Amino acid sequence: MTECPPPKKSPSENLPPANTGVCIAGTGMGLPAKVLTNDDLSKIVDTSDEWIRPRTGITQRYLADRTEHTSDLAAVAVLQAMANAGLEPSDLDLLLCATMTPDLVCPATACRVVDKIGAVPCGAMDLNLACTGFVAALTTASAFISSGHCRHVAVVGADCLSKIVDWEDRTTCILFGDAAGAAIVSRSEDPTQRCLYQRLCSDGSQWESLFVPRSEHDLPPNGQKPFEGKYNTLQMNGREVFKFAVNALRNSVSNALKATNLTAEDIKMVIPHQSNIRMLTTAWKKLGFDDDKIYVNIDRYGNTSAASVALCLHELTEQGRLTPGDYVIFVAQGGGLTWGTSLWRL
């Protein structure tokens, strides 16, 4: 058993100075090696590139193999984020792992990631909010930093949806891909760098729009149509989720702007969950953002659930398109139902 070492600083030193800032110090990503194109999929289910691409924006996705776990992808992403932030594993105070496909029901996947990156006994916690997970974890990390309890928090969104989709159901299996994306959230000397606005929401009354039943006891109440799916696979009402997500996306972003007195012009980038290109374009039309302010990479990865916003953040960072002082909005929505927004000054 590893002894928990004494805190690195005395408790009073851990308290933040009056004006502590919070920054994103590094980002990373982890992908499996295998690529599955739409044409490959058309050999598995009755579908085609001609159907998938215009309806979803997806051309390919990555798939983990049987021996590859969510924590493996997550560990790669966190190690890269730490290297980019110039940190050693021992610098981390906490690791938050957003996932709906944990390696095991117990222990938390975060514990396995901490072990795999050599950061034991760093604190570890999973957050299960489906596609909203990374935005919720980012916001949570920011709160741990500004409260003074942590200096460096690793936030990773990681999912292997390929392990829980029904590979005979063409309405779901075409959408998802496996990946992990990570960010290091750290204390900053610049008090203007921080999360300026956050809102996390849920509506559990709509849980059956997207769920994974384990047995007949987990199904929606009597009176609903007979269950035609399979246990332990993702069940989704695509049209309902689509309508909900467009509204959630639009309202979340517009509320964030109102609350901060910012306009679409002030925002450098909106970093949205990548669920469906039609969903994104429908939502943006009324928000007044130029297309080039909405980051899209769903074509290459599909919907990677908790990883998707983190992948976008990492790619934007690598492309040098984000600089200190920029305002960015992270926004996501998914199973639960859940939705969340986080507006940062980088």
55 in contact with ligand UT7 (CB under 6 A)? yes
Q: Cβ 21 to ligand UT7, closest distance in Å?
A: 32
249 in contact with ligand UT7 (CB under 6 A)? no
d(CA 47, CA 45) in angstroms, rounded, equals 6
Site string for ligand UT7, 9-48 (x = CB under 6 A): --------------------------------------x-
Q: Cβ 156 to ligand UT7, closest distance in Å?
A: 18
| 264, amino acid identity | A
For residues 171 and 263, which CB has a smaller minimum distance to ligand UT7 in the complex? 171
DSSP string, 150-204: -SEEEEEEEEEGGGTS-TT-HHHHTTB-EEEEEEEEEEES-TT-EEEEEEEEE-G
- Residues 291 and 328: beta-carbon distance below 8 Å: no
Apex 301 CA angle, 181 and 341, nearest 5: 55
d(CA 201, CA 132) in angstroms, rounded, equals 10
- Residues 283 and 246: beta-carbon distance below 8 Å: yes
119 in contact with ligand UT7 (CB under 6 A)? no
Is-catalytic flag, 303? yes
238 in contact with ligand UT7 (CB under 6 A)? yes
Catalytic residue selected from 273, 276, 312, 314: 273
Binding segment for ligand UT7 among 11-19, 49-57, 61-69, 181-189 (CB under 6 A)?
Answer: 49-57
The footprint of ligand UT7 on residues 161-190 (CB under 6 A) is 170-171, 174
56 in contact with ligand UT7 (CB under 6 A)? yes
* Strand locations in the chain (E): 21-30, 34-37, 60-63, 94-98, 123-127, 152-160, 178-188, 194-202, 210-211, 235-236, 267-272, 327-334, 338-345
Q: Cβ 322 to ligand UT7, closest distance in Å?
A: 24
Using CB under 6 A as the criterion, which residues of the chain lie in contact with ligand UT7 when the complex forms?
A: 47, 51-52, 55-56, 131, 170-171, 174, 236, 238-239, 241-242, 275-276, 303, 334
Residues annotated catalytic, as ranges: 131, 273, 303
